[in-house]
A and B are shown apart, each in its own frame.
Chain A
Amino acid sequence: AQKITQTQPGMFVQEKEAVTLDCTYDTSDQSYGLFWYKQPSSGEMIFLIYQGSYDEQNATEGRYSLNFQKARKSANLVISASQLGDSAMYFCAMRDVLSGNTPLVFGKGTRLSVIA
């Protein structure tokens, strides 16, 4: 079974500052993928970034980077230079990547508020 834990229900960050959203996971799978999704107040789910368990480099996508520490089973999302539009719910998710295209298992989410 897979489990995602996001321990921060809510976070505040000043505009233009960097912020780290925590995510820890548990799985017995040898190969897995880790994902971050953004859900603004409008409700849609927006894919942000992906990290494969065997990727040696941390994933980066623009202002988003994923701080992957396999031994600690953590996959924290770092947002640099926060913008007001970054205010949203952020979900960490994972899935097995060896058994075809399997469903995502999500954490409970972290609500990020960016303050001007």
Chain B
Amino acid sequence: DAGVIQSPRHEVTEMGQEVTLRCKPISGHDYLFWYRQTMMRGLELLIYFNNNVPIDDSGMPEDRFSAKMPNASFSTLKIQPSEPRDSAVYFCASSLDSISYEQYFGPGTRLTVT
């Protein structure tokens, strides 16, 4: 089975532009997590979904960030407008169900905002 798929793998954009990151979880997984990794703050949760429903978005930095999961096989993280401080690696992870302990990470999207 394919792992978690993220696209694009690298994104370079100018400040003020809209950025959309995409994630396809492992088929059959009920949980989807978006994490962000920066040098200053390390790895931190942005938002997570259970059965396509957002459960906790307290990690979303501000209104410029939004995330959706329209169906079980697709999620997007959108930044509008982007700022240089949004430069980071964004990871998507999925997990099977409420009792599974392992979260499977995608390869990440490296975002650079100039």
Q: Which residues of A are at the interface with B, using a C-beta cutoff of 8 A? A: 33, 35, 37, 43-47, 50, 52, 91, 93, 97, 100-101, 103-109
1/0 contact string of B34-75 vs chain A (CB within 8 Å): 010000001111001010000010010000000000000000
A107: nearest chain-B partner, CB-CB: B42
Q: Determine which of A35, A44, A101, A107 lies in contact with B31 in the assembled complex, contact meaning CB atoms within 8 Å.
A: A101
- Secondary structure dominating the interface of B: strand
Given contacts A43-B107, A43-B108, contact A103 B48 (CB under 8 A): yes
Complexed CA–CA distance, A51 and B30 (Å): 22
Question: What total of chain B residues lie within 8 Å of the partner, measured CB to CB?
Answer: 28
Complexed CA–CA distance, A35 and B56 (Å): 21
Q: Across the interface, do B102 and A47 meet the contact criterion of CB distance under 8 Å?
A: yes
Q: Across the interface, do B45 and A104 meet the contact criterion of CB distance under 8 Å?
A: yes
Ordered nearest first, which 10 A-B pairs have the shortest CB separation? A45-B105, A100-B98, A106-B43, A103-B45, A101-B31, A101-B95, A108-B42, A101-B98, A50-B101, A44-B107
Residues of A within 8 A of B95 (CB): 101
Q: Of A43, A93, A97, which is in contact with the most chain B CB atoms at under 10 Å from its CB? A: A43
Residues of A within 8 A of B59 (CB): 103
Q: Across the interface, do A43 and B101 meet the contact criterion of CB distance under 8 Å?
A: no
Complexed CA–CA distance, A93 and B101 (Å): 12
Complexed CA–CA distance, A85 and B110 (Å): 23
**A–B complex contacts, Cβ < 8 Å, 23 sampled:** A33-B101, A35-B101, A43-B108, A43-B110, A45-B91, A45-B93, A47-B104, A50-B102, A52-B101, A91-B43, A100-B50, A101-B31, A101-B50, A101-B99, A101-B100, A101-B103, A104-B35, A104-B43, A106-B42, A106-B43, A106-B44, A107-B42, A109-B42
